[in-house]
Amino acid sequence: MGVINHVTTDSRFSSPLQRVALFFLLLTIALFAASNPVRAQDDSSAPGDSVTTNEVNEVARELWCPLCSGVRLDVCELKACDQMREEIAIKLEEGQDTDEIKRYFITQYGPQVLGEPPREGFNLLAWVLPVLIFIGGGIFVFVLVRRMLNNRRDQEEAQAAVADNAAADEGMSYTDRLDEELSRYDG
């Protein structure tokens, strides 16, 4: 019984003043947490008044950071990209659609902001060439496999012919084979 009393009286917050202070500390933390929830991404905290963050990110997903290599605008953490997203919000508030905003950014930063080459002019090769290489590679593999199979079949036929000749030769005596060979040249 003495051990139990010793454990309960030997705790860190044994005095009533410490317990009250702990209670108020926990109550303050709970009230602060309840009044200020952490928000991962809130639609109401958009750069503009009537445009949500999701609307801005829908447009930003289709654009690429002109400074980073291979990073979409909606996930880029550079200050320049924050400013670009704010510009998107302003343009959305003005009533511009996605295509108009894209054209604006193309004039400002060039076609690399789209993350893909335009499908016109010399850049069309970037779209057509991979398809042509894929088709050409498929034809090359088809021809190569077909040639290998034909060579294998020819080899098997040649081996079969040699085996047939060997079987025929085994049945003949040496002098009969010699006479047969000589008759081919006398002919």
Percent of the chain with pLDDT over 70: 78
Report the interhelical angle of 98-109 vs 79-93 (nearest 10°): 140
Same domain, 94 and 143: no
How is residue 115 written in tokens? 């993350």
Burial class, 76, CB count within 10 angstroms (exposed 0-12 / middle 13-18 / buried 19+): buried
Q: How does pLDDT run across 97-153, given as a tens digit for each residue?
A: 888 888 888 888 887 788 776 677 777 787 788 899 999 999 999 999 999 998 888
Instruction: Average the pLDDT over each of 4-18, 58-72, 93-107 and give the range with the smallest value.
Output: 4-18
Which domain covers residue 60, as residue numbers? 53-116
Confidence (pTM): 0.42
Q: Is residue 47 one of the residues assigned to a domain?
A: no
* Domain count of the fold of the chain: 3
Does position 34 have pLDDT exceeding 70, yes or no?
no
Q: What is the pLDDT of residue 36?
A: 53
**To the nearest whole number, what is the mean pLDDT of the chain?**
77
Local structure of residue 50 (DSSP, 8 states): S
Q: Is residue 48 part of a domain?
A: no
63 backbone φψ class: left, alpha, beta (φ>0; ψ -120 to 50): beta
Statement: residue 39 has pLDDT above 50: no
Is the domain of 128 the same as that of 181?
A: yes
Point out the domain boundary residue: 116, 144, 171: 116
Q: CA 72 to CA 111: how far, in whole Å?
A: 14
Residues with Cβ within 8 Å of 60's Cβ and at least 6 positions away in sequence, in order, are 72, 73, 74, 84, 85, 88
On the question of pLDDT at 72 being above 50, the answer is yes
